[in-house]
Amino acid sequence: MRIMIGKNDKKGFWTGLAVLAVYALGLIFVSCFHELWFDETQAWQIAKSASYKDMFTVVPHYEGHPPLWHLILSVFAKNGAPVDITLKAINITFCTVAMALLIFKAPFPKPVKYLLPFTYFFFFHYGIYSRPYSITMIAFFLMAMTYKERNTHSLKYVLSLILLCLSTAFGIMIAGGLCIAWTIEIIAELIRNKKMHLFWKDRRFYSLCLILAVAVVLILMIIPAEDCYYPTSDNDITLLNLTSYKLISIFPFESWSGTMIGLSGLKEYSAIFYVELPIGIAMWIALISITAKNRKLLTFIVPYLLMSLFMVFKYMSAYHLGIGALLHIFIFWVMLDENGKIEFPEYMKKIWAGIDSALIKKAAVGLGVFLAVMPIVYSGVASFHDIKKQCGFTWAAKFIKDNHLEDRKILAAWQALEVDTKEKDEDKYKYMFQQLELPSKHREIKQHYTYVQGDAAMIQPYFDKNIFINFNVDCPDDLYMHYKYKEDVEAVFASWREKGLPDFIIGYCPIDEVYGEEMLEGVKYLPVARKEMLNFFKLDEDDYTDSIYIREDLLDEYPQLKWIDDQTGNVYERK
């Protein structure tokens, strides 16, 4: 049982080119409808307003990845390029280059090469969302191309590893794991040939020293600041809680067809988990067995475990799962490239040969095809949502511009956690997000994160100045979000109060926590614009509503604005 490499012919070239063109045109088409999400606009705003010194010395400690992406964007952002078209064009270009490497250089069968670009992560989540993962894809494929000659032309391989390190923090981990495996291989080779004393003269040693130096510098740059906010920075807020073992078991499957991990981390749907569990375990066994048979176990398992354990016990978001898929492609690419085939373990051959029923074999093949097609289905569903639904805040920016509100006092909602006594202990803190008139009655606030303002981060790029009275109040020229959570909240609120009551409010927030009963006596904020919004990942969807509020006494100044009554018919008690 083996897979052979076929030679590219002229017809294959034109077919590959056609597939690449469909991929690029697909990205362009969906991107025309895509509204930038906050981490996309965040990167642009850093590139636009942060100094180059801060991009190297301050920003990485809060953003969690090296500054390469910000540096690339800065060439355009600091010279007045429009955010929407520029950001998308850069990302689409990088993604197209990555898929060209895959289509024309990978040793996979043509159907595999032609379908992989349209799977969920490579088409939608890394192709439509403009993030540094487009560079990560290029780095992985360059690594695969140069891996075969790593011992004879080590610099090429090391430079591709460095590019991976420069793209993301996970890239540093994976490159480190690959270098550990490579170092063990080099030492084993020298011992086998009784040349261990020549290790220090081996040019591969100096190549490894080069990437080690780069990795150390990058790690020092991205070590989180003491007050850096990320979802697991507070012990009360965890994506995975006590379910880490679940992620480990299903991680390989989640990188492709699984749906257990969604927008808020690991779902607690036990039925889904128990369906995915045997598939995930089977994939672990298969990956370990196949890489061992093809003498690539260390190359696979060391970086894969480093990455997956960090995801489980420290930090991850759903979109990081695509890096696992890239590592799968890399390991099969290098096995095929080195051997011209993939050898399967004897037990796999015996199991397959031992199945006498043709129906069972057809069912197994059918299941495999179904699971292989699902990531393409996810791409289609996500693209449909992005085209048809409201998924960003350009509507709010347009509302502000159309009604000439740039110079009014606008307050943006910030991240706040409510205490929910109805929930079990590990879930008792919920992010505050409701749609009410303001001020309104709400549960006790457990924690304020005044610097974490996603709405403002998505609106701000469409204006040349800071239009919010509470966005980076102590450094208003920084037009990007500061991920800080250790703060003197009362001091921050006091600085907001000094600016007076807001005229408009973007998003629901507990303003009574800021201004108090005396300032809010007789004051009411009414919603005058509202949008049904959608956030999604694979088949996971989160519908919510966001509103723009006006202070009631200003309604006469804006006759074009009308109070939107609560569509649910609920009456909320004012606090």
Instruction: Give the pLDDT confidence score for residue 571 in this predicted structure.
Output: 45
461, 36 in Cβ contact below 8 A?
yes
Q: What is the mean pLDDT of residues 266-279?
A: 78
pLDDT digits (tens, 9 = 90+) for 436-459: 778 888 888 888 999 999 999 999
Is the pLDDT higher at 248 or at 371? 371
Instruction: Give the pLDDT confidence score for residue 319 in this predicted structure.
Output: 86
- Peptide bond before residue 502 is cis, with ω within 30 degrees of 0: no
pTM, entire model: 0.91
Instruction: Give the pLDDT confidence score for residue 544 in this predicted structure.
Output: 86
In a 13 Å sphere around the CA of 387, the CA atoms on its Cβ side amount to 12
Q: Mind spelling out the 3-state secondary structure of 138-199?
A: HHHHHHHHHHCCCCCCHHHHHHHHHHHHHHCHHHHHHHHHHHHHHHHHHHHHHHHCCCHHHH
Backbone angles phi, psi at 203, to 5 degrees: -65, -20
| Highest-scoring range by mean pLDDT, 64-73, 260-269, 309-318, 478-487 | 64-73
Q: How confident is the model at residue 196 (pLDDT cuts 50, 70, 90)?
A: confident
Instruction: Give the pLDDT confidence score for residue 311 in this predicted structure.
Output: 80
When the pLDDT of each residue in the chain is averaged and rounded to a whole number, the result is: 88
Instruction: Give the pLDDT confidence score for residue 244 in this predicted structure.
Output: 58
pLDDT digits (tens, 9 = 90+) for 517-530: 889 998 999 999 99
Q: How would you label 258-276 residue by residue, b for 16+ Cβ within 10 Å and e otherwise?
A: bbbbbeebbbeeeeebebb
Q: What is the mean pLDDT of residues 164-171?
A: 96
The residue extents of the domains of the chain are: 229-354, 394-557
Q: Report the chain's terminal Cα–Cα distance, integer Å.
A: 71
Instruction: Give the pLDDT confidence score for residue 222 in this predicted structure.
Output: 94
The answer, yes or no, to whether residue 237 has pLDDT greater than 70, is no
| Highest-scoring range by mean pLDDT, 51-55, 236-240, 526-530 | 51-55
pLDDT digits (tens, 9 = 90+) for 204-225: 899 999 999 999 999 999 999 8
Strands (DSSP E) contained in 193-349 are 261-262, 265-266
Instruction: Give the pLDDT confidence score for residue 352 in this predicted structure.
Output: 84
The answer, yes or no, to whether residue 6 has pLDDT greater than 80, is no
The answer, yes or no, to whether residue 267 has pLDDT greater than 70, is no
Q: What is the mean pLDDT of residues 140-156?
A: 95
